[in-house]
Chains A and B, each alone.
Chain A
Amino acid sequence: MSTGEPLFLDFFFLLRRIGVPASTREWLMFVEALERGLVAASLDRFYAIARATLVKHERYYDLFDQAFSHYFLGTRPPAELTRAIEAWLEDPLPLPTLSPEELAALEHLDLDALMKRFEDTLREQDERHDGGSKWIGTGGRSPFGHSGVHPTGMRVGGESRSRSAVQVAAQRRFVDYRDDLVLDTRQVGIALRKLRRLGRVEEATELDLEGTIEATARNCGDIEVALRPPRENQLKVLLLMDVGGSMDPFALTVSRLFSAAHAAQHFREFHAYYFHNCVYERVYDNARFSSGKDTLELLRWLGPDTRLVVVGDAHMAPWELTARGGAIDYHHQNDDPGVVWLQRLRRHFKQSVWLNPMPQRFWTHPTIALVSQQFSMFELTLAGLEQAISSLRQSA
């Protein structure tokens, strides 16, 4: 730069702050383009060149656009910085510590009553509440809101702390695990690699060069061609993952598994979908549950030879498994109880495993016990994963 001034450095930091992972190397590339006069005096060219050098995935295009128009055109700051409603429930108060007597004193409600009271309360309420025992807010003992303590509570957004929120009625903003690819997936990747052997084609059709040289030498220089089976894999895998709610504390583990599986080259086909607590008639493409696929269609589409791997804690309120309309999502009315959907999956796929991030000693919980009657359940640890994979291989 002729003036020696680093131009638009605050734009670079704005991009980073709202989550566009631009690196210094990329910034220097952009500055180099500026220096060479490629940008000229056109904002359109500036836009195109900045985006081409700084943004390396279309998933960040939208964020980039928001940052760009905010910085250069002075529009409203990116939504990621102003989550007004979310802020209302954010930064919750610390949990009140309740004595066992107090906990027992809190009424236990059944699903219908809870649903009705939630709607009534929502209708009456018109402002933020924290720490009370009736209104929807944070840190309280009302059955609604989040970060509170109530035996059969209904959660409204936020991160779950006590593991019993029943219905999530607020718009969720779960991180799309796939977008948060982190390193350190190697161990999981190596474990998954063991699945690969399942699919080895036995027919030797590929030239084995070293074998050929060896065989030819033994054969006194007369060409002797050695063949080996190709490395191609026939394995098809369907991964279904529970996200949100009681799964939030395991988000990192699950995201590792997911990115390792996704990066893995071991499968001929690899499909991954999300669900919340239990699989019902739809599964979702992303952890925000914004788009998805009918479960029945998925079953039509994927043959019984596809290996099914479910990841979830199977920890939920009993009616989510056993009741019609028991799904955790407030807006969701399921006709078949969750357990019927689990049976459908189990019967369709010849081989399936359930990976549970909760330690095995907690598996006496009623819903976990019920799910483990349907699926062979393994701990989501490296050891558990290896057991699960060898179980998938044995029954092959």
Chain B
Amino acid sequence: MYDNFTGTESYIASPELQEAVNVALALQRPLLIKGEPGTGKTLLARAVAEQLKRPMHTWHVKSTSKAIEGLYVYDAVQRLQDSRFGDRDVRDIRNYIRFGALGRAFLADEPSVVLIDEVDKADLEFPNDLLHELDQMSFTVTETGDVHTAKIRPLVIITSNNEKELPDAFLRRCIFHFIAFPEPTLMARIVKVHHPKVRGVLLDEALARFYWLRSLPELRKRPSTSELVDWLGALVRGGLDEASLAERIPFLGTLLKKEQDLEAVARRGRGWTKH
């Protein structure tokens, strides 16, 4: 009866996350996903699109993004340019309206997934400017007066890194899910998706180092899932086994990206052995 999201082979979703996606699908509400960097917020949209076999429209929000850009842009400079050479029919403004990710999804004849990535990067008013469009799934092109209403309401997935608080009015209209940082058991499953051949002992030892690093209060940037996956890849390709982890952490640079963090860990010595 309804589309049902259960996670994919390469994307492991917790039961709560699956329910959140399915509620958003059923109620046709935007889904707001929050969580630390590297917890797979952006990948979720791709996994949902893949499993439901829907096309995906992505909108990467930047600090200068305006709400309207997700709907459409009016390319006045192109029109000016064309007016000099008469390349196109410059009298019809519609030739110069370009639809953004949301706009394309509203106009499409099939259900789709729209990813509005890192909504907190933009101006504070940004989410409020989208309230009406997300509620009604329709928008007006001011330049032409055309009203476009979604034929089929897309699933809108919005991610936030928690850099800024989002407005209450916006939050009230969303389904919300916070992706907590994975526990070691779930993390082991996630890592195995990427490195199916890694041996259990090595994985356990590597995870112990990883969670020890994450527990250090002085780190400015704690390593996340994607760094762990890269690091294990380096260990496997380098032919290293668990014994090589006893004295030091090889390829530490794949886990920590800041000079100060590397120094901080060097100062700690072999702190992970104390347990």
Contacts and interface: CB of A to CB of B under 8 A. Distances in A.
Contacts, number: 87
Contacts of A202: none
A216 B80 contact: yes
A204 interface: no
B129 interface: no
11 contacts: A38-B22, A45-B19, A48-B20, A52-B19, A56-B171, A61-B178, A181-B165, A212-B80, A221-B80, A263-B164, A265-B124
In the complex, which range does the number of interface residues on chain B fall in?
35 or more
In the complex, which range does the number of interface residues on chain A fall in?
35 or more
A209 B15 contact: no
Given A262-B165, A263-B164, A265-B124, A52 B26 contact: no
B80 A213 contact: yes
A72 interface: no
Interface in B156-175: 164-165, 168, 171-175
B175 A53 contact: yes
Contact of B76 (A23, A33, A213): A213
- Residue from A32, A53, A259, A262 whose CB has the most chain B CB atoms within 10 Å: A53
Given A181-B165, A209-B77, A263-B164, A44 B15 contact: yes
A231 interface: yes
B27 A32 contact: yes
Contacts of B174: 56
Contacts of B81: 223
B84 interface: yes
Interface string A333-361: 00000000000000000000000000000
A38 B5 CA distance: 13
Contacts of B165: 181, 259, 262-263
Contacts of B124: 263-265
Contacts of B123: 265
Given A223-B80, A231-B64, A48 B15 contact: yes
A263 B27 CA distance: 30
Nearest to B22: A38
A230 B19 CA distance: 42
A127 interface: no
Contacts of B175: 29, 52-53
Contacts of B173: 25
A27 B175 CA distance: 12
Given A61-B178, A209-B77, A221 B172 contact: no
Interface in B62-102: 63-64, 76-77, 80-81, 83-84
